[in-house]
Structure formats: structure tokens, C-alpha cells
Amino acid sequence: MSAGNDIVKMLDDLGLTTAALRCKELLDSPEFGDFSPVQLLREILTPQYIESMDNRYVTNRKFSRLINKTAKIDNLKTGNGRKYNDDKVQQVLTFRFIGNKLNVGIYGKTGAGKSYFMSALCDEACRQNYRCMLLDYSDLLDELLVLEQKDNLEKYTKKLKYYSKIKLLFIDDFAISRYSEEGIKILYHLIKTRDDLGNATVFTCQYDPSEWGKQISDDPGCYGKLDGIRRRLTTGYTILIEKV
């Protein structure tokens, strides 16, 4: 067996096919001796790493339920008729808020581009290998309400835990619909559990948090839960989008 071919075989047996092919190419290359050990290792592993990350990105994006797959973070800056608080945007795009257990609220009037911002952020989170999911606010609560009202406690509890454990949850159009005390109780449990687990939530909303009391529910029995939801969700970053 030629020198180095055993390494090619080991890489192949480990399932690192792309790295094995690159290793064989380098062994047969006249430039092989020009590489330092570190450079050689990097040359062999880089194609395999890129392929693995691309595959993870595809898997993560499929799991995320992302609809607008054309939204890009390069467009999340002031210009083209929209104004952002760019300093906060740049901080959010580092994704350090996830490790710091903070949330991100994206605010703006209808048509300001909140959903686009969220889609671009979700896409980049998938690329950076975060397990995330994007859900519509009303669809999320309606689903949990149906399960809870069917008296199927096991399915309801399982689904609530499922959404609570997702590392990065995106909720679009937060507070777009009013719910009874039962719906708000479910929302409160979801947000509280995510907060207890230290999982970050990103949401879009056209209402200032000071208005949530009348927008989320008109049931007077919800005050305490609404206050708990607002206090937890607004711990983190505020992104403001304006049409200009």
C-alpha cells in the first residue's frame, strides 16, 4: 500500500468520503510536500466540513418551517425605504442573545418588513446550526387550544413541552388576535417554561408592549398572566423598523 493510502482508507471507513477524496488528490499532487502539517490537515478536512455544514443547514431549514427562503440578512440595514436601529440589529446578528438567554422583539407597523426580518434571521440561524422553528402566533395558540379543549392532557402537555424546548422559537404576528383567559393561560405557560429553560424567543409585533393588555385579551381575569408574559418576553433586544 502506498504511503498515505492507509489514511485515505481510514477516512473512507469513517464515512468521511469527501475528506478521503481530497486526501487522495493531495497525495497524488506535486504540491503535497509544500504543505505544513497544519495546512495539510486543513486542506483535507475543509471540504468535508463545508459539506457537513451545508447538509445541516438544509436539515435545520426544513425543520424550521421557514416559508420565505429568499430573505437574507444582508438586507437588514437602513436603506431601500426602511430604517432600522442598526446598532441593535448588528448585536442581534451575532446571535449571542441565544447564549445569554435573551429575547428579540421586532416592532413596526403593518408592511414595515417585520416578517422579512424574522425570516432572514431564521435562515441565518439555520445556517449557523441552531435548532429553530418559525410559527404564526394564531396558528400556534389555536393548535394548543384545540388539544387542550379536547381533554387530551397527554397530547397537549407533550406539544407544549415540545415548543418550550426548541432552542430558538420564532413567533410571527404576536398579539394579532385576542384570546380568552384559557388561551392566555396557555401562552403564559409556554413563555414561562421557555424562560425557565433559558431558551430564546424572537417575535414580531405591531403593538408596543404597553398596548398588549388590550390587544392580547379583553378578559379582565388575564391581567396577571399578561403582565408575566410581557415581563419575560421583553427581556432582551428591541428592533424597530420604520418605512421612510
Residues 6+ away with beta carbon under 8 Å from 27 = 2, 3, 4, 5, 8
User: Which three cell numbers, joined as nine digits, stand for 19?
Assistant: 475528506
Pairwise CA distance, residues 227 & 217, whole Å: 12
- pTM of the predicted structure, to 2 decimals: 0.87
Centroid of chain to Cα 211:
26
pLDDT in 10s for each residue of the chain, 244 residues: 466 888 899 999 999 999 999 999 998 888 888 889 999 999 999 999 989 989 999 999 999 999 999 999 999 999 989 999 999 999 999 999 999 999 999 999 999 999 999 999 999 999 999 999 999 999 999 999 999 887 678 899 999 999 999 999 999 999 999 998 999 999 999 999 999 999 999 999 999 999 998 899 877 778 889 999 999 999 999 999 999 8
Helices 5-13 and 17-27 cross at an angle (nearest 10°) of: 170
Q: What is the residue-wise DSSP string for 21-57?
A: HHHHHHHTSTTGGGS-HHHHHHHHHHHHHHHHHHHHH
Q: Which domains does the chain have, with CATH numbers?
A: 5-64 (no CATH), 73-243 (3.40.50.300)
Determine contact, residues 184/219, Cβ cutoff 8 Å. yes
